[in-house]
Structure 1
Amino acid sequence: MVKMFTHPITVFVLGTALWLVSVAAAAENSSAETPATKQPNIVFIFADDMSYNTIASLGNSEIETPNLDRLARRGTTFTHAYNMGSWSGAVCVASRTMLNSGRYIWNANAIYKTSEHERNAGRWWSELLKSAGYRTYMTGKWHCTASAEKAFDVARDIRPGMPKDSAAGYSRPAADGTDPWSPSDPKRGGYWQGGTHWSEVVANHAEDFLRDAAAQADPFFMYLAFNAPHDPRQSPQSYVDRYPSESIAVPANFLPLYPYADAIGCGKRLRDERLAPFPRSKHAVQVHRGEYYALITHMDEQIGRILKAVEASGKADNTWIFFTADHGLAVGQHGLFGKQNMYDHSLRVPFIAVGPGVKANAKIEQPIYLQDVMPTTLELAATEKPEYVEFHSLLPMLNGADSENAAIYGCYLDLQRSIRTEKYKLIVYPKAKVVRLYDVQADPDEKHDLAGDASMQATVDRLFAQLQGLQKSMNDELVLER
């Protein structure tokens, strides 16, 4: 059982006289007040395209992530955190709209398709915390249609969905080994547009804000959104050199081609999938995975700078830190390179929580959605969760309660649906008229499709019906038929 804090609700009175009285009372009692009794500061660190299995201390022996390793040792890792999927090829848009609106995917899509300022004005995550007395700050990738400048008190260097790419970064390396791309050449632009690598800019701005916050009394909410490790996967040469392609393992679930790629929207027309040649070669996968790891390691160093700045602010004892990503990425697994699929490498992300009273070096294996972080922070801020917020606070789970999610729902356009329980995952391809079944406990790499096994038909039928039930609860209008 993890012992948590209860934070008193602060009532903000608009009347000037009453406000002055409350300030005087606070000053009189300040000597008796400890940081743990105040609303906590919240630092949210967000990666892009980062799969759950890309942190050294969480099981990846190839990658170097010393700062994320330390963060995991300081707090509790939710090992099975998921994104629901997407209504478009830009999975990050769906993930971030769910995150900032608090709504499940198809309800978030309804907001996205209409005027967000009319439908969700004042209801974004940052605005709810602002109403609770927080000074709100963001830098980096936003990729929501709402205005970051309006949603946050301070917003710096708001980035688009990805750094500018170039033709040289696609369909590489060639079969003969030639490769026109350099992941470390600033002349390629991309992450170096503006002169400083974008991951370093995020850390620079975070340090600036934390130096200022050290002298401020109000609690703060920081939304620090890296574009890394999204392609084009560029990092300084010293990081690239740590991951020579020949030293990178080929994933156990490597395939030259995914058999249903075209039918599920993951064929040659999808931008993400064109990064490497068809059919996939083991060498190409090694090259891309090495560059993926290099960019993550470079981002990890910037995260280390942010964590040091939190300590230097003098506010670390009353600060919660959350680290996660908007979704995962295949990078050569199952013959796929993108995130537009229902496999764990693309739906599942790292999720670490650190804060006062949180158990150190602990893991919770029950499933969550990454967007559960939003109502978690509302509870920390001692502000009521609005009725339209559908995700769940994680504080009960940190206290030993069970997950609110008996099964995890997944979707992509009208081409893919999935349900994942503790033991099984069922994937449905409606237009291809294909179902796939995996025993994710015995087969975590999802290599062996059991859907054709006569002895598994009752399991397929049960999961299919359960998936249909989840669809209804999600307002998913796609009709699934066997």
Structure 2
Amino acid sequence: MRDLPVFRVLSLLPLVATLLVSCVQAAESKQPNILFLFTDDQSYETTGYRGMTSVETPHIDQLAKRSLSFNRAYNQGSWSGAVCVASRTMLNTGRFVWHANDVYNTAEQERAAGRLWSEYLKKAGYQTYMTGKWHIKANAQKAFHVTGHVRGGMPQQTPAGYDRPKSENDTTWQPWDKKFGGFWEGGKHWSEVVGDEAVGFLETAAQDDKPFFMYIAFNAPHDPRQSPKEFVDRYPAEEIEVPVDFLPVYPENKEIGCPPTLRDEHLAPFPRTKYAVQVNRQEYYAIITHMDQQIGRILAALEQTGKADNTYVFFTADHGLACGHHGLMGKQNSYDHSIRVPLLVAGPQIEPGQHEAAVYLQDIMPTTLELAGVAKPAHVDFESLWPLVQGEKETSYDAIYNAYLNLQRSITQDGFKLMIYPKANTIKLFDLASDPHEMKNLANDPQYAPKKKELFATFQKWQKKVGDKLVIDSALIQ
């Protein structure tokens, strides 16, 4: 082929430049991939990067180094003892707790109407994938293009897994013994199954030009807290820290819906012993570290796709867990250990660091819609995290509301938390700045009477906002 004349080459330069600019703009406007890593029962204090406990999470820690960490992320509560059901329904519908309760039994209709999280991303052109715990009343196989093993709820517990350990010589139940089933049902630990399936999807996604949305929902670290022996051995029970707020019995346990007969509370002997708490936390830490290993595999597989630079990674949990705090074992309470979760956001334009704005974990749903170019649906109550990420605003909510059944309410604002126990006719007030473990009740201190009234007024505003119809006698605040 003959060389083009110089003048012809020069005349083509503007066209070439225009094409290059167009290619760059197209690349920049390409929808990002979304990887959502979701754990079950993981308190905000149980990650290595926070340094609050002795738990080891090296792979989550590496993710944290390139993430913006929202250190005050909360679940909004539950209408059910299965707090995960409410949390996941809120997450997938975008609705506040009592609004989500209104559509819980019609969640399949929500899916069919295209109003679930995954359905919006489907319509936006995403290849959607889910594996692990689902636990809402909608068909997961229909809500996503592709699914792996879909687990309804918790792994099956066994009688031997409750009310233990009774003494330091009690070895009737061991986390690594596969005969008890649970996470070992089927022969391979469920966390490893989730890891395998997520890696498998990423290998397929690497060959696809469509953006992907991955909803990876571990059942861990929910009980039965089982993991291979090598992970349990990393945490000698006698070396596990006992929470400073340890109590043998929580005074209002029955009135707040957490009696010894509640399934979660039945996991350890009652009254609590420090040794039983150490063993339960030993197994809690071990299953978290084992799960962290699977998260590491998934993040490594993401890197191998060549798509990591255009992928947003979100990591959080559906709620926290007491596991020995305040004489409680479950998540059916409004203390921070049970309603606060870790929340990491990594990806393009994310400046690593810490953010102290109070947010809800369900804010992840509208955040991903915004990233995908989907306008926020009218029914979505939660707020996108993106304006906080970009520094466009400092806060999303003036306070954090929390509810459990009709037995507990709380409002957190400006470093104080007001807890209301209607059945017990009791309130509690904590100064979280000076008392982060929520051990000193200030409710009867006259000095804090104005603060109680201020928080109660905020609480009443939030009741209207979230559709809470429970009537609280204001005389309780006097």
**Per the alignment, in what secondary structure is the counterpart of residue 67 of structure 1?**
helix
2:350 aligned to which of 342, 358, 364: 358
For residue 444 of structure 1, what is the aligned residue in structure 2? 436
1:39 aligned to which of 31, 40, 56: 31
Q: 1:351 Cα deviation (Å)?
A: 0.1
AA in 2 matched with 1:216: D
For residue 394 of structure 1, what is the aligned residue in structure 2? 385
**CA distance in 1: counterparts of 2:308 and 2:299, whole angstroms:** 9
Does the alignment pair 1:370 with 2:361?
Answer: yes
**Per the alignment, in what secondary structure is the counterpart of residue 255 of structure 2?**
helix
For residue 385 of structure 1, what is the aligned residue in structure 2? 376
The 1:212–1:119 alpha-carbon spacing in structure 2 relative to 1, beyond 3 Å, is closer
**CA distance in 1: counterparts of 2:110 and 2:368, whole angstroms:** 24
Q: 1:28 Cα deviation (Å)?
A: 10
Does the alignment pair 1:217 with 2:203?
Answer: no
Equivalence map 1:103-252=2 (5 Å)? 103-114=95-106, 116-117=108-109, 121-175=113-167, 177-252=169-244
Q: 1:36 Cα deviation (Å)?
A: 3.7
Q: Is the 8 A contact 1:35 1:317 kept in 2?
A: no
**CA distance in 1: counterparts of 2:368 and 2:75, whole angstroms:** 18
For residue 418 of structure 1, what is the aligned residue in structure 2? 410
Q: Is the 8 A contact 1:324 1:352 kept in 2?
A: yes
For residue 330 of structure 2, what is the aligned residue in structure 1? 338
**CA distance in 2: counterparts of 1:29 and 1:198, whole angstroms:** 47
For residue 71 of structure 1, what is the aligned residue in structure 2? 63
**Per the alignment, in what secondary structure is the counterpart of residue 357 of structure 2?**
coil
Does the alignment pair 1:435 with 2:397?
Answer: no
How many residues align structurally?
A: 455
For residue 23 of structure 1, what is the aligned residue in structure 2? none
For residue 20 of structure 1, what is the aligned residue in structure 2? none
For residue 10 of structure 1, what is the aligned residue in structure 2? none
Once structures 1 and 2 are overlaid, which stretch shifts more, 455-464 or 109-118?
109-118
**Per the alignment, in what secondary structure is the counterpart of residue 80 of structure 1?**
strand
**Per the alignment, in what secondary structure is the counterpart of residue 439 of structure 2?**
coil
Residue ranges of structure 1 left out of the alignment (5+ in a row): 1-26
The 1:131–1:121 alpha-carbon spacing in structure 2 relative to 1, beyond 3 Å, is same
What do you get for the CA RMSD once the two structures are aligned?
1.5
**Per the alignment, in what secondary structure is the counterpart of residue 258 of structure 1?**
coil
Q: Which is greater in Rg?
A: 2
Q: Is the 8 A contact 2:357 2:396 kept in 1?
A: no
Q: 1:34 Cα deviation (Å)?
A: 6.3
1:480 aligned to which of 453, 456, 472: 472
AA in 2 matched with 1:38: K
For residue 4 of structure 2, what is the aligned residue in structure 1? none
Does the alignment pair 1:300 with 2:262?
Answer: no
Q: Is the 8 A contact 1:36 1:318 kept in 2?
A: no
Q: Is the 8 A contact 1:111 1:119 kept in 2?
A: no
1:280 aligned to which of 260, 264, 272: 272
Q: Is the 8 A contact 1:111 1:120 kept in 2?
A: no
The 1:178–1:314 alpha-carbon spacing in structure 2 relative to 1, beyond 3 Å, is same
Residue ranges of structure 2 left out of the alignment (5+ in a row): 1-18
For residue 327 of structure 1, what is the aligned residue in structure 2? 319
**CA distance in 2: counterparts of 1:175 and 1:185, whole angstroms:** 19
If the length of structure 2 is used for normalisation, what is the TM-score? 0.93
AA in 2 matched with 1:84: Q
**CA distance in 2: counterparts of 1:372 and 1:301, whole angstroms:** 26
AA in 2 matched with 1:421: Q
If the length of structure 1 is used for normalisation, what is the TM-score? 0.92
Q: 1:170 Cα deviation (Å)?
A: 0.4
Runs of 4+ in 1 over 3 A off after TM superposition: 27-36, 113-116
**Per the alignment, in what secondary structure is the counterpart of residue 377 of structure 2?**
coil
For residue 4 of structure 1, what is the aligned residue in structure 2? none
